[in-house]
């Protein structure tokens, strides 16, 4: 992609507030769906393991349980889509700001969306991008020498594990035909929702400080120091 010259900054605090609101809604309904999946597992444990049952079938005698899970899924999906859209916008604006405020930022705004959706690249580039934003917001000059905090590593580890568990559940669910199979799929689904809720909570503790510190640098009119003239050129 072509490089874009960026010379202006825009505070991200307002945008981050919108991310935070949708983020907490996502966390809430992820947690509720995790609890709902756990309840479903407890109901399935009372059935004969080989009793015929499909993943989306209501459990005999507990038909309301499937309806409740379905109702919880709608606001979860809305929060997920809205949160993803707002988070991408936040990343785009934050990267543009960072490229003006700091020297050495390697991430290009033109690649931000691709880093989240491209195979293989999406496994590590979002972490790299977040790391650069975090470290540069911590220390305006010489930020590359800083190490990532454990918070970032825990967050990205949870994101990856949640993604793999949810993917495994999505592969298992359509193929099951017995109560024990549905239980396995429900366990994977519940774990995926629970880990996603934890990852979301950690991300809100990462993006918030980045936005506040970037906004403070913008308000102060900060610009990176000009590179020194090499002695041999004098």
pLDDT digits (tens, 9 = 90+) for 172-208: 988 899 999 999 999 999 999 999 999 999 999 999 9
Length of the chain, please? Answer: 234
Mean pLDDT of 225-232: 53
Mean pLDDT of 98-117: 89
Mean pLDDT of 213-227: 81
Q: Decide if 41 contacts 186 (C-beta within 8 A).
A: yes
What does the pLDDT read at residue 186?
93
> By percentage, how much of the chain surpasses pLDDT 90?
65
Which single residue is written with the structure tokens 């825990």?
154
What does the pLDDT read at residue 62?
86
Mean pLDDT of 99-110: 88
Q: What are 164's two structure tokens? A: 């793999």
Burial string for 208-231 (b: 16+ CB within 10 Å, else e) reads: bebbebbbebbeeebeeeeeeeee
What does the pLDDT read at residue 234?
41
Assess whether pLDDT exceeds 90 at residue 77. Answer: yes
The region of weakest confidence among 18-32, 118-132, 176-190, 219-233 is 219-233
Q: How confident is the model at residue 227 (pLDDT cuts 50, 70, 90)?
A: low
- Name the pTM for this structure: 0.89
Closest residue by Cα to residue 204 from 47, 62, 16 = 16
- Of 110 and 4, the structure prediction assigns the larger pLDDT to 110
Which single residue is written with the structure tokens 């707002």?
86
Assess whether pLDDT exceeds 90 at residue 90. Answer: yes
Q: What are 153's two structure tokens? A: 């590593």
Q: With the CA atoms of 217, 219, 220 and 221 taken in that order, what torsion angle do they form, in degrees rounded to the nearest 10?
A: 90
Q: What is the pLDDT of residues 47-72, one digit of tens each?
A: 999 999 988 888 888 888 888 998 99
* Arithmetic mean of pLDDT over the chain: 89
What does the pLDDT read at residue 231?
41
Residue 40 CA to residue 118 CA, distance in Å, equals 34
Q: What are 173's two structure tokens? A: 């669910």
Q: What are 26's two structure tokens? A: 């996502």
> By percentage, how much of the chain surpasses pLDDT 70?
93
Q: What is the pLDDT of residues 134-183, one digit of tens each?
A: 999 888 788 888 999 999 999 999 999 999 999 999 999 888 999 999 99
């Amino acid at each position: 992609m072509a490089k874009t010259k960026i010379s202006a900054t825009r505070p991200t605090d307002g945008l981050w507030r919108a991310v935070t609101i949708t983020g907490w809604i996502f966390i809430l309904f992820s947690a509720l769906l995790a609890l709902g999946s756990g309840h479903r597992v407890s109901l399935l444990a009372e059935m004969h393991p080989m009793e015929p049952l499909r993943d989306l079938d209501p459990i005999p005698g507990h038909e309301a349980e499937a309806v409740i899970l379905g109702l919880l899924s709608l606001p979860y999906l809305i929060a997920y889509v809205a949160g993803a859209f707002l988070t991408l916008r936040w990343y785009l604006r934050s990267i543009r700001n960072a490229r003006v405020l700091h020297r050495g930022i390697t991430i290009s705004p033109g690649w931000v969306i691709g880093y989240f959706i491209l195979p293989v690249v999406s496994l590590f580039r979002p972490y790299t991008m977040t790391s650069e934003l975090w470290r540069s917001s911590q220390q305006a000059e010489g930020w590359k020498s800083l190490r990532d905090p454990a918070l970032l590593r825990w967050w990205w580890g949870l994101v990856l594990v949640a993604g793999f568990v949810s993917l495994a559940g999505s592969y298992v669910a359509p193929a099951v035909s017995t109560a024990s199979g549905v239980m396995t799929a429900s366990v994977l689904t519940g774990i995926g929702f629970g880990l996603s809720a934890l990852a979301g909570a950690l991300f809100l503790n990462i993006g918030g400080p980045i936005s506040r510190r970037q906004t403070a640098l913008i308000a102060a009119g900060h610009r990176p120091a000009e590179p020194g003239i090499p002695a041999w050129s004098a």
